[in-house]
Copies of this chain bind each other. A is one copy, B any other.
Amino acid sequence: MREFLKTKGFKMTPQRELIFRSFFELDRHVSVDELYDKVRQQDNTIGYSTVWRNLKLICKVGLAEEVNLGDGVTRYDRVTQGPHGHLYCLQCKELVEFDVEPVLEFLTVAADEHKFAPDGIKIEIQGHCAKCRKANKKKARPVDQPAAKRLAEKRP
């Protein structure tokens, strides 16, 4: 990694080493805060801005990319093998990946038709995971409308 960074004009430091290692150890899609917490457990002198800057650096050198789910927190997603979409549970915030290979060509063609040169493709499905749905069913079961009323509304 030291060599890799050197070729891009960046230096290696103990802090950077720890931050990079922690990022790649951690499960994907971490926020700055999450990584900061993890790093802090091993070196409680590292500054927040250092973690932030290094996360940005990881993106800049192409090893990760930002993910925005619209909840106001930027997450950093390790760039791995292939392109993938995100399934995002609106309730528990779980984020799982799924393969999008089969739709890539369609999207590329679509971009082409509009004369766009695509740089990145993002596919996100927001919804509710199985666990949360099961939990919801137990708790807040909606009150069933009486059949009489239901029928009454059909023919006013």
Contact B130 A111 (CB under 8 A): no
B-contact bits for A105-122, CB 8 A (1 contact / 0 none): 011001101111111111
A90 CB-CB contact with B under 8 Å = yes
Among the 9-residue stretches A26-34, A35-43, A45-53, A95-103, the one with 4 or more Cβ atoms under 8 Å from chain B is A95-103
A residues contacting the other copy or chain, number (CB 8 A):
38
Q: A106: shortest Cβ distance to chain B, in Å?
A: 6
Q: Which residue from B98, B113, B118, B128 sits with its C-beta under 8 Å from A127? A: B118
> Quick one: copies of this chain in the complex?
2
Q: Which residue from B89, B98, B128 sits with its C-beta under 8 Å from A113? A: B98
CA distance in complex: A98, B116 (Å): 11
Q: A140: shortest Cβ distance to chain B, in Å?
A: 15
CA distance in complex: A103, B126 (Å): 16
A70 CB-CB contact with B under 8 Å = yes
A125 CB-CB contact with B under 8 Å = yes
Q: Which residue from B70, B98, B107 sits with its C-beta under 8 Å from A125? A: B107
Q: A68-B70, A122-B124 are in contact. List 9 more A-B contacts (CB 8 A).
A: A87-B114, A103-B103, A107-B123, A118-B125, A118-B127, A119-B126, A119-B127, A121-B123, A123-B124
